[in-house]
Structure 1
Amino acid sequence: MTLDGSLAAPGSQGSQGSLRTRNLRLVLEQLRTAQEQPLTQAELSRATGLASGTVSSIVRELGAARLVDTVAGAGRRGTTVALARGAGLVAGVDFGHRHVRVSIADMTGRVLGQERAPLDPDHDHRAGLDLSARLLETALATLGAEMAEVRNIGLGLPAPIADGVVLSSAILPGWVGVHAQDVAATTFGRAVHIDNDANLGALAEHRHGAARGHRDVVFVKVSSGVGAGLIVDDALFRGANGMSGELGHLTLDEQGPLCRCGSRGCLEAYTGVNTALDLMADQLPGARIADLVEAAREGNAAAVRVFEDAGLHLGWGLATAVNLLNPSIIVVGGDMAAAGDLILEPTRTSLRRHVLAGAENTEVVQAALGDRASAVGAMLLALDATDLLT
């Protein structure tokens, strides 16, 4: 959405134009971060530090541009202001090991619709993107919306990504070597912002989940692979070229089991879903992780031991992250987190055993957003990249 020419380029009218654009951005950012709660003009004035007359003028201008809606208040509560549908939409695309999920949100981050479909883990990246594009079209049609309303798209992949290129991944082999951001932008005809699923999970849990209010966070996703997303001083830490957080390939034992990466004794080889299912294959042939969780909760000693061993190894690996980063909280997500305290309690025990004195009380909690974390993070990625004045 572009406002009148006087606002199209910050500073185009000199200092007065720059100040005006800055004030517009202040108001829009407050409305965006308010999520689903409309704000009164008085609340906007207090939050932005702008004079009430300035806020009133800005609200009128944004309303004329169809960026905000106003609703007359009753009683002591004045007219409320909220971002309008005319401000546009964003989409989040989350590729898992065997599925793809597409979600649509408004500019406050409120999810308006989503579609999910199974996916062959050996699929070619073009087939995966084509399927996600069809799911996006279906979700938009259900809302009565059009692709023209989608401002930005966030996309998450369960793979290491360096400078936009998907590196070696046994989870999604059909994506290896692909410049995912470029090919996705071509498929969707929109700007696409890409990150790995653990980073997106960290972003989501930090803003809307179990890690709200914490400035330094480790989010670890334990599924087919094991990856970590790091929040340092309230910001996502990606490293020099986007390769931070590969906790799953921390070596615990050089003579340990072979990992899919080709090394031995990696954390992932002890804690991943495939390892857990393989250990229970004789007792529970063809089981899924949900079946293993159910068996453990019903008292199956072998199933309980599988989660205990996975948790003890996970705590050992996480202790390294705690000793390096000193986070205030660790959030455990992914398929294995569905076991709850079956895996979290041994994780806490092992963490206390291996961290330095003073860090033994680091919180270890289950992810609040469940299997939606990476999808929510993808939408947040798209929201953060959207400039409502352009």
Structure 2
Amino acid sequence: MTPSRSSSPAPGSTAALRPANQRRIVELLRARGGESVTQAEAARETGLAAATVSNIVRDLSAAGIVETEPGSGRRGSVVRFARTAGLVASLDFGHSHVAAAVADLAGVVLAEAEAPLHADHPYVEGLALAGELLDTALAEAGHDRSDLRTLCVGLPAPIEGRVVRASAILPGWIGVDAEAVVAEAFGLPVHVENDANLGAWAEHRVGAARGSDNVVFVKSSSGVGGGLIIDGRLFRGARGMAGEIGHLTIDDQGPLCRCGSRGCLEAYTSTATLAAMFAGQGSGVGMTELVAAAHEGNVSARRVFEDAGLHLGWGLASIVNLVNPDVVVVGGDLALAGDLVLDAARVGLRRHALADAADTPVVVSALGRRASLVGGLLLAAERTDVLA
């Protein structure tokens, strides 16, 4: 009896290697984050023969996944993701705002939109506003929802599985299966992530921690959270609680925290705390006004940042001793203060960290308050299989 022939390509054959080689080119384009890649560079960095790269690029171009333009000299044509391959989107919910952005499949931002949103909004209301902002961003980029492949949502709360756990910042989302409700609202593959985790990923990939595989990211705004990159991967912990640096206890007899405990780092370093400390100097003080006052020499404003920075450094010492990162990145609204707060944080870190960890760099975010939004775009792009 004649054995039946399989339609699958033989292992090791050219046909079997083609999808794997195509994926190597796609991953290279993603890793470059929108930077131009010539065919010669692609051959060198992937180890593929120049003729193989040329054939792969031709096939991907025919499929509408990449586009090329002539290069100079012997470097070959420049290759990038094509808009016809689709777009990704990111939604970032904060204490008092929601933002939306769209990007190509390399995570390059094409357009953004933002609007205020009251903290106790029902999640349905938040999603409706987010949808309007997403449509605005898409229109600005010359696209509509039919061009979207994947959506990532950042929330300032621990995410266990797909469910939003306790969040004093967004009470209207507590207990919600965020992935399910967002997927139903937008009809797209959805990934839901803690906003500080997304900030950590963005700084690791394209920001102040680019090139570092062990990173601590601290987001300090109305609340204080953290994201951890360990060995180049996002670390979430067993139940999505990793990185909750804001609730490290600095002083168990200290001020009451919104989590119910006392003396949490957040109770000393959130922007709401800093504004309250400075409230005696005038009403309606936000971070922008507080930073301006400090730069103008206001001693009370400078003391506010010094105190916050010292407490931040004490909290960071515990994390640095435990994780031993390459770098600590401080983001969120507190990052607007720059060295006004970071100089004191470095002092606090040196006082309380082990000697070999005390010189860990503490730097300001390169992406500012956009870090979580950009991280969502990068994560969505990486989880979009353009070859499927």
Band of TM-score, shorter chain: over 0.9
RMSD: 1.4
Structure-2 separation of matches of 1:173 and 1:279 = 25
Which residue of structure 2 aligns with residue 362 of structure 1? 360
**Distance of aligned partners of 1:12 and 1:124 in 2 relative to their CA distance in 1, 3 Å threshold:** farther
| 1:240 CA drift (Å) | 1.1
Tell me which of 59, 62, 66 is aligned to 1:61: 59
Structure-1 separation of matches of 2:201 and 2:189 = 20
Tell me which of 224, 227, 231 is aligned to 1:226: 224
Q: Which moved more, 1:174-183 or 1:38-47?
A: 38-47
User: TM-score of the superposition, structure 2-length normalised?
Assistant: 0.95
Tell me which of 143, 147, 150 is aligned to 1:149: 147
Q: When the two structures are aligned, how many residues end up with a matched partner?
A: 380
Amino acid across the alignment from 1:167: R
Structure-1 separation of matches of 2:8 and 2:295 = 65
Deviations 1:76-125, CA, capped at 9 Å, x for gaps: 43222221111110001111111111010001211111111111111111
Amino acid across the alignment from 1:40: T
Q: Check conservation: 1:154, 1:380, Cα contact below 8 A.
A: no
| 1:33 CA drift (Å) | 2.2
Q: Check conservation: 1:311, 1:346, Cα contact below 8 A.
A: yes
Alignment of 1:111-190 (within 5 A): 111-190=109-188
Deviations 1:228-247, CA, capped at 9 Å, x for gaps: 10111111111112110001
Amino acid across the alignment from 1:95: F
Structure-2 separation of matches of 1:127 and 1:39 = 42
User: TM-score of the superposition, structure 1-length normalised?
Assistant: 0.94
Q: Check conservation: 1:215, 1:232, Cα contact below 8 A.
A: yes
Structure 1 gap segments, 5+ residues each: 1-10
Structure-2 separation of matches of 1:76 and 1:61 = 21
Structure-1 separation of matches of 2:206 and 2:125 = 32
Deviations 1:277-312, CA, capped at 9 Å, x for gaps: 111212121211111111111111111111111111
Tell me which of 197, 200, 203 is aligned to 1:199: 197
Structure-2 separation of matches of 1:78 and 1:50 = 15
Amino acid across the alignment from 2:190: V
| 1:74 CA drift (Å) | 3.8
Amino acid across the alignment from 1:357: A
Which residue of structure 2 aligns with residue 303 of structure 1? 301
Which residue of structure 1 aligns with residue 4 of structure 2? none
Secondary structure at the residue paired with 1:100? strand
Structure-1 separation of matches of 2:347 and 2:54 = 56
Structure-2 separation of matches of 1:52 and 1:339 = 49
Q: Check conservation: 1:92, 1:376, Cα contact below 8 A.
A: yes
Structure-2 separation of matches of 1:387 and 1:254 = 48
Identical counterparts, % of pairs: 58
Which residue of structure 1 aligns with residue 348 of structure 2? 350
| 1:260 CA drift (Å) | 0.3
Structure-2 separation of matches of 1:237 and 1:112 = 28
Secondary structure at the residue paired with 1:86? helix
Secondary structure at the residue paired with 1:78? coil
Structure-1 separation of matches of 2:209 and 2:129 = 33
Secondary structure at the residue paired with 2:266? helix
Structure-2 separation of matches of 1:197 and 1:126 = 19
Structure-2 separation of matches of 1:74 and 1:210 = 32
| 1:361 CA drift (Å) | 0.7
Structure-2 separation of matches of 1:244 and 1:74 = 48
Secondary structure at the residue paired with 2:249? coil
Which residue of structure 2 aligns with residue 80 of structure 1? 78
Amino acid across the alignment from 1:13: P
Structure-2 separation of matches of 1:38 and 1:248 = 39
Q: Check conservation: 1:216, 1:327, Cα contact below 8 A.
A: yes
Which residue of structure 1 aligns with residue 25 of structure 2? 27
Structure 2 gap segments, 5+ residues each: 1-6
Amino acid across the alignment from 2:346: R
Matched, 1:274 2:272: yes
